[in-house]
C-alpha cells in the first residue's frame, strides 16, 4: 500500500495547537463567519475533529505495542531454547554429539538462527525426540517434556504472528493519522481563507489569527499581501 504523505509542513502537534487556536478565533468571530455561511455547528465540528486528532495515538504508542510483543517473543524463544538444550542432552548422553541421531535434531548454531529458522528447528526437535522417545525414556526423557516443547513452539509461532500484526497495525495507523491530519488541514485552510477575507484591510491582529505559516509579519497598520505566506 502506498505510504500516505502530509500535505503540510507543520508538525502534528503544531497542527493540533493551531486548530485549538483557530476554534477560539472563529468562536470570537462567529457573527462574521455566519455571514460567510459558517455557523456555530461548523465550528463545533471543527473542534471535535481537532480533539479527535489531538488524542489519536502517536507512532510511539504503536512502537511500544510492538516492543511488548517482541519482548514476549524473545522470552518464549529463551525458554524454548532451554527445553531444546535439555532434550538434546539426552541425545548427547545416548549417542554423542557426532552421532547421526544428534545431527537429526538440526540445532547447530541455534543461538544465531533467525526466529523463523528457530521455529522450524524447535519443531524438528519435537519430531526427532518423538521418534526416539522409547530409546531415551530409560535415561530420563519424558513425553511430557517433549510435549511441553511442542506447546512452546506453537506459542512462539503465535507470538511471531502477533509481532507481525502489530507492525501492520502501526503502518495502518500511521496512514490513518496522516489521512486525518490532511483532512483537518484542508478544513483549516478553508476557514483560514475566509478569516483572512473577513479581516483583510480591517483588523491586522485578527487577520494574523488566520495565518497558518507566520513566516513574515507585516509592520503596517493594515494587512497587506503576505508574499511569504505558504498557505
Kindly state the cell numbers that stand for 208.
494574523
In this structure, are residues 66 and 160 in contact, taking their beta carbons and an 8 Å threshold? no
d(CA 90, CA 141): 7
* Residues 34, 28: Cα–Cα separation, whole Å: 12
pLDDT for res 2: 62
C-alpha cell at position 28: 470570537
The crossing angle, in degrees rounded to 10, of helices 143-199 and 12-28 is 40
Q: Tell me, what's the pLDDT at 205?
A: 96
Helix residue spans in 55-142 (DSSP H): 59-95, 100-103, 115-131, 133-136
Does the pLDDT of residue 231 top 50, yes or no?
no
For 39-91, write each residue's pLDDT tens digit: 999 999 999 999 999 999 999 999 999 999 999 999 999 999 999 999 999 99
Using an 8 Å Cβ cutoff, are 29 and 195 in contact? yes
Distance CA 192, CA 207 (A): 9
Cell of 107: 540445532
- In degrees, to the nearest 5, what angle opens at C-alpha 38 toward C-alphas 189 and 53? 50
Length of the chain in terms of residues written = 231
pLDDT in tens, 141-180: 999 999 999 999 999 999 999 999 999 999 999 999 999 9
Amino acid at each position: 500500500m502506498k505510504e500516505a504523505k502530509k500535505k503540510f509542513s507543520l508538525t502534528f502537534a503544531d497542527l493540533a495547537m493551531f486548530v485549538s487556536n483557530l476554534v477560539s478565533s472563529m468562536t470570537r468571530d462567529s457573527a462574521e463567519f455566519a455571514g460567510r455561511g459558517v455557523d456555530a455547528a461548523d465550528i463545533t465540528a471543527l473542534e471535535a475533529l481537532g480533539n479527535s486528532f489531538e488524542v489519536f495515538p502517536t507512532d510511539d504508542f504503536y512502537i511500544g505495542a510492538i516492543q511488548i510483543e517482541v519482548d514476549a517473543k524473545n522470552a518464549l524463544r529463551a525458554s524454548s531454547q532451554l527445553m531444546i538444550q535439555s532434550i538434546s542432552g539426552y541425545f548427547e548422553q545416548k549417542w554423542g554429539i557426532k552421532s547421526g541421531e544428534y545431527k537429526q535434531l538440526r540445532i547447530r548454531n541455534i543461538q544465531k538462527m533467525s526466529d523463523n529458522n528457530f521455529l522450524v528447528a524447535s519443531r524438528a526437535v519435537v519430531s526427532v525426540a518423538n521418534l526416539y522417545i522409547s530409546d531415551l525414556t530409560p535415561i530420563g526423557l519424558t513425553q511430557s517434556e517433549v510435549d511441553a516443547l511442542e506447546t512452546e513452539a506453537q506459542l512462539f509461532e503465535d507470538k511471531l504472528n502477533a509481532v507481525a500484526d502489530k507492525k501492520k497495525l502501526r503502518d495502518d495507523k500511521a496512514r490513518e493519522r496522516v489521512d486525518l491530519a490532511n483532512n483537518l488541514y484542508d478544513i483549516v485552510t478553508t476557514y483560514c481563507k475566509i478569516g483572512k477575507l473577513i479581516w483583510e484591510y480591517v483588523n491586522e491582529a485578527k487577520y494574523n489569527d488566520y495565518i497558518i505559516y507566520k513566516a513574515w509579519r507585516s509592520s503596517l497598520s493594515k494587512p497587506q499581501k503576505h508574499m511569504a505566506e505558504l498557505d
